[in-house]
Amino acid sequence: MDDVKQIVADIKKGNIKPIYFLMGEESYYIDAISDYIENNILAEEEKGFNQMVLYGRDVSVDDIIGNAKRYPMMAERQVVIVKEAQDLSRTIEKLSNYAENPQPTTVLVINYKYKKIDKRKALYKTIKKSGVVFESKKLYENQVSDWIRRVLSGQKYTISPKASQMLVEFLGTDLSKINNELEKLKIVLPEGTQISPEHIEENIGISKDYNNFELRKAIGERDTVKAFKIINYFADNPKDNPMVVTVSLLFNFFSQLLHFHGLHDKNPRNVASALKINPYFVNEYVSAARHFPMRKVSHVVATLREFDVKGKGVNSNAVPQGDLLKELLVRIFS
């Protein structure tokens, strides 16, 4: 996020580069930078003749270079944006000749999503000299909640840790999907609101009581009644609660619990740092550790590996996922 802010700040100051090569696994920031350039470099009256959007599947690298070498009409610059440039991955290195001597009146933006160019080759090295290479890395799951908090704080909203965790567990680490849901919430909630689990449930449709977050907590507390209620809900709503997601999240939880047992310093701040979790959730691990000693945790981790395979249809004899989840819960509590 800091790199994005710096790129935007430089553009605002007039320090505009002739090439912006935006690459990486996380598309959200690639789109954010590209959209900012598209909306802000040229005045509205200049865009008709001097701004064009190309798509990698429809053009060649030679086409891109040809357009980039044109001179602007009645404007200081022209902007050429290439979207889905990853479709040109086999020939993208040919752009290095242009990058050695780019047209100074052209701003060329390459959106190279879900991939990255080889940093040892000429294209990367030449663009680094004349322009900007930005790599948008996928956030780890434990980083996404903090990203949500930072984004909302800049927009005069806050969010409770549980509500943030619900979004991450339901939407994964795709920042674009999460941002879309946050935009929906901002439409119905006034500035200054702290987004709560109730807001998530009412406006996005994620149950605040029957979700993987609450299942994990119930298991950690050995609350069998609550855990089986949640599993029964999952069994009745399999499309919204795929087994593969549930098993994966429980596997991560018990793997972290194993790590917790191995810590010599169980001070909450150290636990949060070592497990890479929000300090708000440390007590859940303390409680779970009382109910699941290290040997039992190791057994549960092995069981989760077994059921991960079964959930994918191996050696499960077409058993419904709801029944597999109930059997898994029995094994965890036994």
- Tell me the C-alpha distance between 203 and 90, whole Å: 43
User: Contact 285/271 with Cβ under 8 angstroms?
Assistant: yes
Q: What's residue 315's pLDDT?
A: 65
Average pLDDT, the chain: 93
Q: pLDDT at residue 311 above 90?
A: no
Q: What's residue 320's pLDDT?
A: 86
- Tell me the C-alpha distance between 146 and 278, whole Å: 8
Summarize the confidence of residues 85-109 as an average pLDDT. 96
User: Contact 178/167 with Cβ under 8 angstroms?
Assistant: yes
Using one digit for the tens of pLDDT, what is the confidence trace for 16-74?
999 999 999 999 999 999 999 999 999 999 999 999 999 999 999 999 999 999 999 99
Q: How many CB atoms lie within 10 A of CB 116?
A: 17
For the chain, strand residue ranges (E) read: 19-24, 51-55, 78-83, 106-113, 132-135, 158-159, 194-195
Distances, alpha carbon 18 to alpha carbons 63, 84, 100, 106, in Å? 17, 19, 11, 6
Amino acid at 318: A
Structure tokens at 223: 């609350």
Q: pLDDT at residue 119 above 70?
A: yes
Q: How confident is the model at residue 132 (pLDDT cuts 50, 70, 90)?
A: very high
For the chain, percent of residues with pLDDT exceeding 70: 99
The per-residue DSSP string of 152-200 comes to HHTTT-EE-HHHHHHHHHHHTT-HHHHHHHHHHHHHHS-TTPEE-HHHH
Q: What's residue 314's pLDDT?
A: 73
Summarize the confidence of residues 293-312 as an average pLDDT. 92
Q: pLDDT at residue 301 above 80?
A: yes
Q: What's residue 141's pLDDT?
A: 79
Q: What's residue 316's pLDDT?
A: 63
Using one digit for the tens of pLDDT, what is the confidence trace for 195-254?
999 999 999 888 888 999 899 999 999 999 999 999 999 999 888 888 998 999 999 999
* 48-57, 167-176, 189-198: range with lowest mean pLDDT: 167-176
Sheet holding 132-135, edge to edge: 51-55, 78-83, 106-113, 19-24, 132-135
